Amino acid sequence: MIVLGCDVGALATKTVILNDGSLLGWDITPNEGRLGQVAEESLARVLKATGLDQEEITSFSGTGWGKKYIPYPHRTESLINCLARGARWVRPSVRTVVDIGGLTTTVILLKEQGGVLEYRNNDRCASGTGFFIELAAQALELPLDELDPAAGRAQKRAHIGAQCAVFGESEIISHVNDGVEPSEIVAGLTYAVGLGAATLVRRVGIMPEILVTGGVAKFKSVIRSLEENLETETCLVACDPQIVVAIGAALAGAEFK
Amino acid sequence: MIFAGCDVGSLTGKAVILQDNEIKAYEIMRVRPRPEQTAQEVMTKALDKAGLTFDDLAYCVSTGYGRERIPFAQSSISEISCHGRGAHWVNPEVRTIIDIGGQDLKVIRVDRFGYMADFTMNDKCAAGTGRFLENMAKILGLSLDKLGPIAFEATRPVGITKTCTVLAQFDVLCLLTDGETKADISAGIAQAMAERISKMARRVGVRKEVAMTGGVAKNSAVVNSLQEVLGVQLYEMTQVDPQSIGALGAALFARERFERQKRVKG
């Protein structure tokens, strides 16, 4: 059974296609403010990548902050539900899921059998999210894929005290103007993001195994900071961590059928 | 005798030249990368307007976030004191000052002499600050000075529940996509600001007369909403630019310090 899941996040739209539990193809497209059109584009891209026709797909499920903007007919699922399912699919033994997305960080504790035990997100503040990293990268005039290498080169970390993404950006600009080494600024900001996520995790609780998902999970320096602040190890996903929620949405659709 | 005050904030720099108890000239500009550059430039511009030079200044006091880095100032004083002093000079009946700058929101209560009696401040979160309005204006594709007036054309203000600047930005993006008008959204933004501000203000208590200072005081929609939410008419500064009040207070302190110095020496 071929099923599709679409996760419309704050910063990017992710679409995946599964067939009987196997990942056939996926697409990640940045939103750039064009909410409805991106879902269409992402769908077109994933169909092209898999060589499938839209008619061959038996179920379309949408989730995420912007799911109401998905223009093609679909059923909807809660983000928590999709995150839990997706995480279990990529790593059956997971108990704690830390999803660090564009605007929201979500932490879920799973029961041994897989249902959700407890969850929390940072719904009042955008600190420590992907948006902050994007703002920072712009301020530093660095492409996102150069952040990890830069953090790795740093001899020390520049201090970034602000939790607020807006103020944090100003702090970074001040550091740049003061001539602080960019690699040190990057080290400081990835540390701050990991610390922010760790603080949220501690409010929910930690149970191994811990899985980190979401676009921000692609930054190894953030994961290192998270692990340092939680004093524990985390696991990585085999697939792109940014599509885990979309996978969960597709799986929910399959079960529904 | 000519005195000057220089207020270097996070987003703008302000300079005021005081002579014979009158504001001879003032200037407001966007900050340069370094506070020293901002201070030098804004003060030079103000002096030029007054037809004066740095040598004409008897005393200069600096204030604001960048106050320690202004080489031509003889001393620096906290912006809280300067705002209190400046607002009191404009209207001696002022007892509560709501100062909203680029990155912070302060509520200052002053006594009848203009000295600080109590204050509270938010500088950890951009909600309710000038940054909030700037970001909103950007998303709506409006210049900052159009954001206020357009709100008065609202027919049905939308509710913006998120105080976080970043989250509210995304809310606004959704509202625009859903077809809400800029006027209605702007009215909702003003309302959200007003509620955030009044929450802070109630911490120290609101006593008339209440004045707003800082750049946000120029957003008529926010002023209006705030009056509604607080249930009190604000004293509006018409003769003096509310954004220059910090620098004005610094100039007044400059005069005071100079005269004290003279007495001590004499």
Cβ–Cβ gap A65/B170 under 8 Å: yes
Instruction: State mean pLDDT over B18-37.
Output: 93
The CA-based dihedral angle spanning residues A100, A101, A104, A107, taken in that order and rounded to the nearest 10 degrees: -30
Q: Is the ipTM of this complex over 0.90?
A: no
CATH architecture of A93-236: 2-Layer Sandwich (3.30)
Cβ–Cβ gap A124/B33 under 8 Å: no
Of B33, B166, B174, the CB nearest to A166: B166
Would you give the DSSP letter of residue B154?
A: -
A123 has pLDDT over 80:
no
In chain B the domains, ranked by start, together with CATH numbers, are: 1-91+241-266 (3.30.420.40), 94-236 (3.30.420.40)
- Those residues of chain A whose CB sits closer than 8 Å to some CB in chain B are 10, 33, 35-36, 65-66, 69, 103, 123-126, 131, 162-167, 170, 173, 177
User: What integer pLDDT is reported at residue B266 of this predicted model?
Assistant: 63
Kindly report, residue by residue over B130-187, the tens digit of the pLDDT.
989 988 998 898 988 899 999 999 999 898 877 788 888 888 888 988 899 999 999 9
| Percentage of residues in chain B having pLDDT higher than 90 | 72
DSSP string spanning A72-101?
S--EE--HHHHHHHHHHHH-TT--EEEEE-
B61 has pLDDT over 90:
yes
Rg of chain B over Cα atoms, rounded to whole angstroms, equals 19
> What residues of chain B, 132 to 151, have a C-beta less than 8 Å from chain A?
135
Mean pLDDT of chain A: 92
A106 has pLDDT over 80:
yes
Kindly report, residue by residue over B200-241, the tens digit of the pLDDT.
999 999 999 999 999 999 999 999 999 999 999 999 998 999
Q: How many CB contacts within 8 angstroms connect chain A with chain B?
A: 50
pLDDT bracket for residue A122 (50, 70, 90) = confident
- Residue A228 Cα distances to A6, A165, A214, B188, angstroms: 33, 22, 19, 42
Instruction: State mean pLDDT over A219-224.
Output: 95
> What residues of chain B, 48 to 87, have a C-beta less than 8 Å from chain A?
none
Would you give the DSSP letter of residue B159?
A: P
DSSP string spanning chain A?
-EEEEEEE-SSEEEEEEEETTEEEEEEEEE-TT-HHHHHHHHHHHHHHHHT--GGG--EEEEESTTGGG--S--EE--HHHHHHHHHHHH-TT--EEEEE-SS-EEEEEE-TTS-EEEEEE-TT--TTSHHHHHHHHHHHT--GGGHHHHHHH-SSPPP----SHHHHHHHHHHHHHTT--HHHHHHHHHHHHHHHHHHHHHHH---SSEEEESGGGG-HHHHHHHHHHHTS--B--SS-GGGHHHHHHHHHHHHH-
Cβ–Cβ gap B124/A177 under 8 Å: no
User: What integer pLDDT is reported at residue B102 of this predicted model?
Assistant: 86
Cβ–Cβ gap B164/A126 under 8 Å: yes
Domain ranges within chain A, ordered by starting residue = 1-91+239-257, 93-236
User: What integer pLDDT is reported at residue A165 of this predicted model?
Assistant: 83
* A93 CA: distance to closest CA in chain B (Å): 33
- HEC letters along B113-133: CCCEEEEEEECCCCCCCHHHH
pLDDT bracket for residue A223 (50, 70, 90) = very high
Domains A1-91+239-257 and A93-236 share a fold: yes
* B127 CA: distance to closest CA in chain A (Å): 10
A236 has pLDDT over 90:
no
pLDDT bracket for residue B91 (50, 70, 90) = very high
pLDDT bracket for residue A103 (50, 70, 90) = confident
Classify domain A1-91+239-257 at the CATH superfamily level: ATPase, nucleotide binding domain (3.30.420.40)
A169 has pLDDT over 90:
no
Higher model confidence: residue A161 or residue B60?
A: B60
Of B33, B34, B126, the CB nearest to A164: B126
